[in-house]
A and B are shown apart, each in its own frame.
Chain A
Amino acid sequence: MYTQAMDIPDESGKKLAVVPGAASDQEAAFEARIAADGRIEPQDWMPEAYRKTLVRQISQHAHSEIVGMLPEGNWISRAPSLKRKAILIAKVQDEGGHGLYLYSAAETLGTGRDEMLAGLHSGKAKYSSIFNYPTLNWADVGVIGWLVDGAAIMNQIPLCRCSYGPYARAMIRVCKEESFHQRQGYEALLVMMKGTDEQRALVQDAVNRYWWKCLAMFGPPDADSPHSAQGMRWGIKRISNDELRQKFIDATVPQAKVLGVTLPDPDLKWNEERGHYDYGQIDWAEFWNTVEGNGPCNKERLATRVKAHNDGQWVRDAALAYARKQKERQVKEAA
């Protein structure tokens, strides 16, 4: 489960604005419930902007799970042992499941699955940019588990308290499954680090390529996140991008030490006064360039996803035809 900036605008969100108007009773009830840290459920009245923000965020989140299956899926047939292959299949299957929980949550807001998939396949909807980078060697799979899933966990834990009930419940289910993802990745790397110099070099290379991209997963700095404040006020977002990023860095530095790798940031050092690690400048130009569709794998990922969907059309059609036939037969027999 991989949310990046939850407030990355896409086509559907461009015209999104909070429309000020006379506060109705319904609106007052909604605001009161949010203020009391209560939960909003699908049948409850909600402002259109709240609904749209959630649809955009949850569908981006769902798409990220689904596209996130691709970089790791590439390694299923090349996993170094039967054990690692079974683990990787289980992890990739979990990500597919996460996508389904999230699509279901988004559908409760009145947006159909086909509409969301059409948004993904046309390139209108966004997904986490981390999946637009290639997985070049086996260590990448370990690093994705350790760092990418690790960053995702940081992002998702506060979402378990999201004000929208179905999203929060989906997140609880997801978070229960994520811990395995991170641990299997870290353990796979530990094994490689106990191997040859060449294997250790592969791990370090993968860390070097993924570290900064993982930091960018938390989204733009708070100062440049105009949507964040509204998300916070609505109880959709609970902890700011920068705060989550800092938590992730503070948690990861000791893990890297145990693993025996260096994190590729000369500015990374403990700040006694702040009680946190200081870190260097993230390349936001590169981040936005990838969000805009120009990362190394954007086209390949989308093309793979669209092809899989189109290749599955006959299966969906056949299942439907079979279900209709069964129903007709039942009706005939009953007559």
Chain B
Amino acid sequence: MSTAPALKDWPLWEVFVRSKQGLEHKHCGSLHAADAAQALHMARDVYTRRQEGVSIWVVPSAAITASNPDDKGELFDPAADKIYRHPTFYEIPEEVGHM
């Protein structure tokens, strides 16, 4: 998420679009807008001109807390040696079939 200063006080918003019913909202970009209603209008024009979405979320960029890339090792490495969390870790006799 950006930490760039906003356009003469128009805050930055992150835009999330649900491409079709049943799928999750996915981050697709950001834009500047005076308020949430305007951010929604602009997100429609900027990110869904070709029916790319059925629903839009806009979130003030400033409201997002992101993990620090410097903490990447500390946060994510511990999962690397826990291979027993994956189904392929377990050997099951073939005659059992799909499990």
Whether a CB of chain B sits under 8 angstroms from the CB of A101 is: yes
The answer, among A44, A94, A100, for a CB contact under 8 Å with B69, is A44
Q: How far is the CB of B51 from chain A (nearest CB, A)?
A: 13
User: Does B4 contact A111, Cβ atoms closer than 8 Å?
Assistant: yes
Known contacts A97-B49, A320-B10: does B68 contact A108 (CB below 8 Å)?
no
When distances are taken between beta carbons in the complex, the residues of chain A under 8 Å from B86 are none
Q: Which residues of A in the span 109-137 have a Cβ within 8 Å of any Cβ on B?
A: 109-114, 117
Contact across chains for A110 and B31 when beta carbons are under 8 A apart:
no
Which of B38, B45, B46, B50 touches A319 (beta carbons < 8 Å)? B38
Bound-state Cα–Cα, A97 to B3, Å: 21
A-B contact count (CB 8 A): 68
Give min CB distance, A62 to chain B, whole Å: 13
Within 8 A of B (CB), among A296-318: 316
Q: How far is the CA of A319 from the CA of B66 in the complex (A)?
A: 29
B66 pairs with A107, CB closer than 8 A: no
B12 within 8 Å of A (CB atoms): yes
> Are B38 and A107 touching (Cβ within 8 A)?
no
* A319 to B5 CA separation, bound complex (whole angstroms): 18
A108-B2, A113-B7 known; A41-B69 Cβ under 8 A: yes
Whether A104 pairs with B10 at a CB distance below 8 angstroms is no
Q: Is the CB of A43 within 8 A of B5?
A: no
* A177 and B46 alpha carbons, distance in the complex (Å): 12
Contact partners of A112 in chain B: CB under 8 A: 4-7
Is B69 a contact of A114 with CB atoms below 8 Å? no
- Given A113-B4, A323-B34: A107 touches B68 (CB 8 Å cut-off): no
**Main SS of chain A's interface residues?**
helix
A32-43 CB mask vs B (1 if < 8 Å, else 0) is 000000000111
A289 at the interface (CB under 8 A from B): no
B69 and A110 form a contact (CB under 8 A): no
Bound-complex Cα distance A114 to B34 (A): 15
- B58, chain A: closest CB distance, angstroms: 13
Q: Given the complex, which residues of A lie within 8 Å of B69, measured CB to CB?
A: 41, 43-45
Known A-B contacts A43-B66, A104-B29, A104-B30; the reply to A110 vs B3 at CB < 8 A is yes
A104 to B6, CA, bound (A): 11
Verify if A93 is at the interface (C-beta below 8 Å from B): yes
- B9 part of interface (Cβ distance < 8 Å): yes
Q: Are B8 and A97 in contact (CB under 8 A)?
A: no
| Interchain CB contact under 8 A, B4 and A107 | yes
The answer on a CB contact under 8 Å between A42 and B2 is yes
A255 at the interface (CB under 8 A from B): no
Cα separation A94 to B49 with both chains bound (whole Å): 8
A110 interface neighbour in B4, B9, B33, B35, Cβ under 8 Å: B4
Chain A residues with CB under 8 A of B28: 173
Q: Which residue of A lies closest to B8 (CB)?
A: A114
State in angstroms the CA–CA spacing of A110 and B1 once bound together: 11
Chain B nearest CB, measured from A28 CB (Å): 15
Complex: how many Å from CA A100 to CA B46?
8
Contacts of A108 in B (CB 8 A): 1-2, 4
Known contacts: A41-B69, A43-B68, A323-B35. The answer to whether A316 contacts B3 by CB under 8 A is no
Per the bound structure, the CA–CA distance linking A166 and B72 in Å amounts to: 20
Residues from chain B with Cβ under 8 Å of A114 in the complex: 5, 7-8
Q: Is the CB of A107 within 8 A of B2?
A: yes
CA distance A326 to B35 in the complex (A): 9
A194 to B38, CA, bound (A): 45
Other than A107-B4, A107-B12, A177-B50, give 14 A-B pairs with Cβ distance below 8 A: A42-B1, A93-B49, A101-B29, A104-B29, A104-B31, A107-B2, A107-B30, A111-B4, A112-B4, A170-B29, A316-B10, A319-B10, A320-B9, A322-B35
List 13 contacting pairs A-B, 8 Å CB cutoff, sorted by A: A41-B69, A43-B69, A44-B69, A97-B45, A101-B46, A107-B30, A108-B1, A112-B6, A316-B10, A320-B10, A322-B35, A323-B35, A323-B38
